């Protein structure tokens, strides 16, 4: 995490993991992900965040790969130290070497966060 100003944080995340699969002929998956998030506090109780991620999943023993990319924005309004209202919008796109598995999704969410 990098804090270029007292009100702004920039976070870079990465991961790699081995997983199981039910696809015949594949012994498992290798998934790699990288993400970047920029959050800025407009006020003490109001934060806006922009984020993007890219991930790739490869199926061992098969010529199958999936590339997932997302971009989105989130806003959080803290009512108290315990409760916050959150809203987000994410555009997600999956490209696969498997015919007919590609998709694009737009996801909007609104929720109440409870933190102890």
Give residue limits of the domains in the chain: 2-114
pTM: 0.86
Average pLDDT of the chain is 96
Q: 89-96, long-range: CB within 8 Å, 24+ apart, which pairs?
A: 92/68, 93/68, 93/69, 94/66, 94/67, 94/68, 95/66, 95/67, 96/64, 96/65, 96/66, 96/67
| DSSP category for residue 101 | -
What pLDDT is recorded for position 22?
Answer: 85
**pLDDT tens sequence for the chain (116 residues):** 999 999 999 999 999 999 998 888 888 999 999 999 999 999 999 999 999 999 999 999 888 999 999 999 999 999 999 999 999 999 999 999 999 999 999 999 999 999 99
Tens of pLDDT along 28-40? 999 999 999 999 9
């Amino acid at each position: 995490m990098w804090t270029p100003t007292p009100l702004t944080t920039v976070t870079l995340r990465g991961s790699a993991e081995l997983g199981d699969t039910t696809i015949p002929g594949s012994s498992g998956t290798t998934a790699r992900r990288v993400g970047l998030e920029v959050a800025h506090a407009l006020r003490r109780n109001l934060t806006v965040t922009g984020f993007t991620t890219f991930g790739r999943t490869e199926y061992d023993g098969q010529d199958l790969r999936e590339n997932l990319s997302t971009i989105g924005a989130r806003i959080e309004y803290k009512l108290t130290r315990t409760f916050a209202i959150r809203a987000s919008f994410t555009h997600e796109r999956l490209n696969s070497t498997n015919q007919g598995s590609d998709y694009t999704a737009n996801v909007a969410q609104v929720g109440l966060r409870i933190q102890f």
